[in-house]
Each structure stands twice: as structure tokens, then as C-alpha cells.
A and B are shown apart, each in its own frame.
Chain A
């Protein structure tokens, strides 16, 4: 039996990378945001410092990569989860989740480019 090997690795690679980021980075961001909301802002993470990171092209690229991969991961995971729950409208689910993820990605580019 010879079956073509799947090309799934192209989409699974970024999905797995996004999952790793979501698992390790997102909780840290949530925690830091909570601290900031309560008024505890470490000096390293003051507004001026974060703004400087986002103003630098390398910083923009890293932020963009994180957000793109997280969104891609979340969209794909949601699609697969809905499929596991037996929702059979895969085409519509796929269009909806990837559309939202794309929208987030475009918004990320837009807002990142505004920071200088």
C-alpha cells in the first residue's frame, strides 16, 4: 500500500509553535497584566520601555510572530474542538475561525505600524 504522505506539517508546525507560545507566554502576560492592573509595574516593564520595544522593527516582528501564531493556534484548536464535539459544519467553522484570526492578524499589523 502506498499512500501519499500528508502535507499537514505545513499547518501543524505553526499550530504547534502557537500552542507552545500560548502555553508558556500567555499565562505570563495574563499575570503581568493583572499585576499592572493592581498597580505593581516592575521598572523593566514601564510604558516607556514597552513602547520602545514596539517601536523597534525587531520588537515589532517578535510581537507580530507571537500574536500571529497564537491566533492561528487558537483558531485551529477551536475548529478541531468543535469537530470533536460533533459539529459537522467544518467549512463554515473553518471560514469563521480563520476569518477572525486573519482579522486579528491584520489589526496587529495595522496597530504595530502605527507605533513609532
Chain B
């Protein structure tokens, strides 16, 4: 276990008292095996208890500790110190307003997530006595990777479109809508299409692909969005060229 001294530059900002964000540098004695979150915890425990940031699980499951590490959206618990030089700069996730220091205001994302109804809307209601809803491994495979999303919002921080067009529903929410649309037990696609096939829905995506590059769970949101585009295009032609075909 080798020790290393790093300079951790942390963005500090309290919107209630500060006129502008600034950087504060801390000298942190790190073990090379540490992640950036360990360094932040060291600062909080030993150097400056006023630093604010979100974290919980320390194992890339909860999705709380998303932040910009040297300008790239990362989970602080998955960004290893040994992959960086002696100067590491941490900032709150890009494209979100700052609540305090590294904590962002995520209401916009939470609202969009709720708007796409990311839960199972059963095709048919049946009593418990009728047994379980069955699904084959092949049916599961069509959406399994999209279930791995942990709502960490790294994809929103990476997406240039979300930065330019704040109304864009965005990668994670549309991927989750797609996850339920693809589910053989689900019947809620029509309701979700009202949101994601709108102009601010999937059509604001310009297929930059940054969402998939930064995703810590390899969800590949870009692939979900392209599939939604194809499906919505087929819908459009069905609705306009074959209006007598009621599904």
C-alpha cells in the first residue's frame, strides 16, 4: 500500500452567501488504492467538515456520488486515484444547478423520470390466484441492460444536447421508458410515447453517444434512444399512412 500526496481541488459554492463558485485546494495523503470519494471523505473527516457532497454506498450501486472529476462525469467511488496525476479537480455534475459545493439540484431529472412512468403498467390485470406473469429469457434479454441504470445522472452531465436544450427528457429517463416499453409484461407504451415521442423527447437526441461513454453501469443509453427513434418512426408511418390500423 503506497501512499501519495495529492492536491484535491474542490469547487466550493454556497448560493446563499457566495457571489461565485471558487476552488479550494486540500493536501490529501492518499493510498494509491483509494478512489476520489475516499479523498473527499478524508477532507471531510480531517481537514474541513464544511465540504458538502452526496454519497452513500461506496460501491457504484446507489448513484449518489456523481461529479466531474478532472472535467469528466464520474462516480467518485469508481474513480481511482492511481488513474490520475497529483492534482485532481472535482466539481459538481455539469448541466445541473448547484445546491451547495458538490451537491446539485436534481429536481429537473427527478421530474422527467417520473413523467415517463418508469414502472410496470401491466397489460392485463389478473388476480394473484391466476399466477405469475411469465417471461422467457429471450424476452428478458431485450431490455435487461436498461434495468441496470442507477439514476446517477452522469449521462445528463455528459450530454451536450441536455446542456443546450434543458427541456430535453434526456438519456436515462428515455432509456428507462424504453426498458418498460420492451418488457413483454408491460402495456404502458402508449402512455410513455406521449412523453418520449414528443419534440422534447427522443427527437432532441443528436446521437453524440457521450451518455454511453460515461455510463458507469454500461447501460448504453444511446442504443436505447436510437431504438426509440426507430420505433417512433414506425409508429408515425403507421398512424399517418395506415390510420385504419388501430393497434
Contact = CB atoms under 8 A, between A and B. Distances in A.
B161 A8 contact: no
Interface in A17-52: none
Contacts of B120: none
Contacts of A9: 232-233, 235-237
Interface in B164-211: 164, 193-195, 197-201, 203, 206, 208
B223 interface: no
Contacts of B236: 5, 7, 9-10
Contacts of A1: 115, 194-195
A13 B199 CA distance: 15
A3 B194 contact: yes
Interface residues of B, number: 23
Contacts, number: 54
B229 interface: yes
B195 A3 contact: yes
Interface residues of A, number: 19
Interface stretch (A56-64, A80-88, A95-103, A107-115): A80-88
Contacts of B201: 6
Contacts of A2: 194
Given A1-B194, A1-B195, A83-B206, A13 B233 contact: yes
Nearest to B237: A9
B230 A6 contact: no
Given A1-B115, A1-B194, A8-B199, A80 B233 contact: no
A4 interface: yes
B118 interface: no
A5 B200 CA distance: 10
Contacts of A55: none
A16 interface: yes
A79 to B, nearest CB: 9
